[in-house]
Every structure is written in structure tokens, then in C-alpha cells.
A and B are shown apart, each in its own frame.
Chain A
């Protein structure tokens, strides 16, 4: 296997595997937020704000994986 093929494989694997964890994490966050809103519809604005904050943290991990994939591919 020459270096160029390994590059393609590496960048695909980096983002593919790197997006599994954050995907599951964001799904769990969203589900729990929906439950919380269902139990207490008055606190919807607070729950929504904190949910977006937590989703940003989880998404950042996927972004790290994407940056590595882009670096492998283009640098």
C-alpha cells in the first residue's frame, strides 16, 4: 500500500470513527432534554440553553476528528 492510498484511508477512518462517539452523546443529550421539557414545560428556555451548551461540547470532539482528517488529506 503506498502512501497516497493510506492517506485516503486514514482521513476517511479518522472522521468516520471519530463521529460515532459524539453522535451517540448528542443523541443522549437531546433525549434527556426532551424528557426534562416534557416533565416541566415551564423551564423550556433554561433547558434549551443548557442543552445547546452541552451539545457544543460534544460536537467539539467530532470537530477535532474532522480537523485531523482534513490535515491528513490536505497537508
Chain B
């Protein structure tokens, strides 16, 4: 029975902040990006070395791609867009490294594996009371400890993995999506003026424009949800796919799926950044009439 967890599992607590395995991997990805950037910048030569050529071509390639979408205001938005692309790409790829998801720790019985009591435990507890007539062997114990169910559900030698792809946790993708949308609203108001920008959503010039404005407002919230779930769904589904395929036919069958996941990691990062660029260019242009 393979063990798949929808949310990140808590490793330890820093004060009252639960540190999940996805948060730990986020810190490691951040460390990698920051250290490699500092190292490459510190040895910046006029005649570039090989690694400097790679980084420069990456930066320039991204810039020209965003320039075709954004035009003149590319340099204003470029830091956020490129950072999102690079961070999300390395986050997605970190889920494919050997050791991520396969090295884990055992939890003592008292501590929760999730930051909150999972919904599945609560549901099965309430189901036990009306089914006292059935000879259900699972409900022998009246108290439903967490250690029992986690021992039944997984046969791994550890309880929770130490590392996990950060973008396979809805918290990370929701945070990235909220940052992107908040910056979009801020830049829209900054470049168009607050009243003009809000006038796109709430306008009383004609009934049709009023309803179009309300729909635009709703679609703004829809964009937040769609950004978060697109990235989360792709990476989490890829993770589940790799686990299931590896459980069915180990060692040979996962190879093409690992290749697919590498590709999907790049494409999802690209789509996040490009979609944000397109929305930014829409948000910072005056409304057409």
C-alpha cells in the first residue's frame, strides 16, 4: 500500500511554527540559488567563463521572451518574473532528486504528523458510532490513535519523508500566487493611478460595463486560485504518478516518467511566469473602448 499525503508533513516545531518537509526543502532550494548566484557574481569577468555564459544566456533568453509580451516596461517587472521562473523551476526539479521522498524519520507516538488533525481521522471517528451493529474488525478499539492508522496505512521503514518538492504543497503555490497577484494589483495601481485602475472593475458608465467590471473582479480571484492549483496539481500529480509507477514496475518504468517530470517542471515554471507577464501587460494598459 503506497503512502501518499496531500499536505506537507510536520517534522518539528520552531516555537509555534510547524516546519514541514516542504518548508525544509524550500529553504534548501533557496540556499542553493542564493549561494550559486553569489558565487557566479563574485567572479564576474569581462571574458566570461563557461558557467557565466550559461547564466548570462539564461537571463538574456528570459528577458527577450518577456520583452515580446511586455514591451517597454519589461525591466520593471523582470526581477519578479525571472525569480519566479527560476525558483519554481528548481523547486519542481527538487522533487526528482534521489533521496527526496525516500529518506525519512520516524515520529514518536505523541506528535502529530500534520499541522492539524487530518480530516480523514475526524470522519472515521464519527462513522464509528452509528456502525456499532456491523461486525467491522477495524473498529475494535474505541479510541482511534494516530499511531494505529499510520501503522496500518504505510509499510515504509519510516513515518514521514524528510524532504519533499516544495511546490507539491498547496501552501507554497498559494503563497506564490498571492505574491504574484498582489504585485499585479500594486503595479496596476502605480502605473495607471489608483482610481483609473479601480475604475476598471467598478464603473457606472453603463449597465453593461458595470457587469463586465463585476465579472473582471471575480476573475481576479479566479486567477489566484487557478495559478495556485495549476502548479500544485501538476507537480503533486507528477509525484503521485512516480510513486505509483515505481510501486508497480520499479527501476525501469519510472525512467520515461522522470523525463516527463523534468519537462513538466520547466513548462509549469514557464507557464506561471508567462501567464503572470500576460496578466501584467493587461493590467497596466488603459482600458480599451
Contacts and interface: CB of A to CB of B under 8 A. Distances in A.
Interface in A36-75: 46, 49, 52-53, 56-57, 59-60, 63-64, 66-67, 70-71, 74-75
Contacts of B6: 70-71, 74-75
Contacts of B229: 60, 63-64, 67
B238 to A, nearest CB: 11
B286 interface: no
Name the interface size band of chain A.
10 to 19
A52 B277 CA distance: 14
A46 B230 contact: no
A60 B5 contact: no
Given A53-B275, A56-B275, A75 B118 contact: yes
Given A70-B240, A75-B118, A56 B233 contact: no
Interface residues of B, number: 24
| A interface: dominant SS | helix
For chain B, what secondary structure do more than half of its interface residues adopt (helix, strand, loop), or is it mixed? helix
A53 B240 contact: no
Interface string B1-17: 00011100000000000
Nearest to B231: A63
Contacts of B232: 67
B278 A70 contact: no
A3 B126 CA distance: 13
B270 interface: yes
Contacts of B236: 67, 70
B184 interface: no
A56 B237 contact: no
B4 A74 contact: yes
Contacts of B267: 52, 56
Nearest to A3: B127
A66 B233 contact: yes
Interface in B1-59: 4-6
A60 B268 CA distance: 11
Q: Closest 8 interchain pairs by CB?
A: A63-B233, A56-B271, A60-B230, A67-B233, A74-B6, A75-B119, A66-B237, A60-B226
20 contacts: A3-B127, A49-B274, A52-B267, A53-B271, A53-B275, A53-B278, A56-B275, A60-B229, A63-B229, A63-B230, A63-B234, A64-B229, A64-B233, A67-B232, A67-B233, A70-B6, A70-B236, A71-B6, A74-B5, A75-B118
